[in-house]
Structure 1
Amino acid sequence: MGINKFTLYVITIVRIIVGLSWLQQGMFKFQAHFNIQGLVNTIANGSDSPMWYQEFFEHVVSNNIALFNLLIPAGEIAVGLGLIFGVLIRGAILGACLMLINFWLSNMIYIYPFLLVGSIILLNWYPQTLSYTLWTALDKLNIRERMT
């Protein structure tokens, strides 16, 4: 028994909405000149995160603030674009899950419950996320054939 077109449309809409949300978060961080230093201090001095995660923030992240200030928004934008256009979907979903795990470890998951639910849905129905992508649109318009 296959999945009907309505379900494929819903999964595609969820993928695009989750992608737009990630893209918006990343763009906002770039525009606001995101700085992870405040989070480093909060996690290193707090008791809500696991000890190994506090050590990671204290010794790795705090020594590479500029790198993480770039990686976090860039990762969010990359995940967003991948999900919106349906390019490297598996990598985008796994990147989203990695970021959400970090949010959870830093006790900030309450900010992103929609992204967590959306990512779980996309992971659960990964093969169906490939049904309507940039590549399938190009195939239907015969544009990919013309490009080769």
Structure 2
Amino acid sequence: MFVGFLRKNKFASYSLTVFRLYLGFQWLIAGWGKISGAFDARGFLEGAVNKATGEHPAVQSWWATFLNGHAIPNVELFNVLVPWGEFFVGLGLILGAFTTFAALMGVVMNFSYMFSGTTSTNPQMILIGLFILVAGFNAAKVGLDRWIIPFIREKFLRNKNKKITGSGITA
């Protein structure tokens, strides 16, 4: 019932637009601050690994193993992915363009930060992001997806029908 409300209700669409804009600005500002500043993820990643020890570790050992084995050796890649990822998630949410993908990537980043032992606003951002994900297209009706998604659907279906009819199979 609540999912149906989020996915179809006009009032929900307008409310989700407000949440989408709020969340988008949070991501955009965070990303831009890292892009325009001297961002280096190494200290954060090493700090997260250090939180995986002790009697009550804040970071799970499997996550620390991932950070040690993959993230820290490739910190230069993460120094690009993190700020630009945050910036583009924010831009997508603000413009309402590829909204569900942007929200999904935001939720993934929030969980990554939480796995690394930080809380801050991440749980709140995850909750808002999940509402946007559940609402799907309705969360982006007041945005560019109003035109982007129908265009993509039409283009995909037209190409799919051409391939089906061109192969001798009738649609």
Residues paired across the two proteins, number: 138
Paired residue for 1:92? 102
Does the Cα contact within 8 Å between 2:100 and 2:132 map onto a contact in 1? no
Paired residue for 2:79? 69
Instruction: Tell me which moved more, 64-73 or 37-46.
Output: 37-46
Aligned amino acid, residue 39 of structure 1: F
Question: Which of the numbers 34, 41, 58 marks the counterpart of 2:46?
Answer: 41
Distance in structure 2 (CA, Å) of the matches to 1:63 and 1:78: 24
1:21 and 2:31 matched: no
Instruction: Tell me which moved more, 82-91 or 104-113.
Output: 104-113
Q: In percent, how many aligned pairs have the same letter?
A: 28
Gaps of 5+ in 2: 53-57, 149-171
Q: Give how far 1:131 is off.
A: 1.4
Paired residue for 1:6? 11
Q: Give how far 1:65 is off.
A: 1.2
Instruction: Tell me which moved more, 98-107 or 5-14.
Output: 5-14
Q: Give how far 1:137 is off.
A: 7.5
Give the TM-score taking structure 2 as reference length.
Answer: 0.73
RMSD: 2.0
Q: Structure 1 residues 99, 66: CA separation in 2 closer, same or farther (over 3 Å shift)?
A: same
Distance in structure 2 (CA, Å) of the matches to 1:79 and 1:69: 16
Distance in structure 2 (CA, Å) of the matches to 1:21 and 1:103: 15
Q: Give how far 1:45 is off.
A: 2.2
1:110 and 2:115 matched: no
Aligned amino acid, residue 100 of structure 1: N
SS in 1 for 2:72: helix
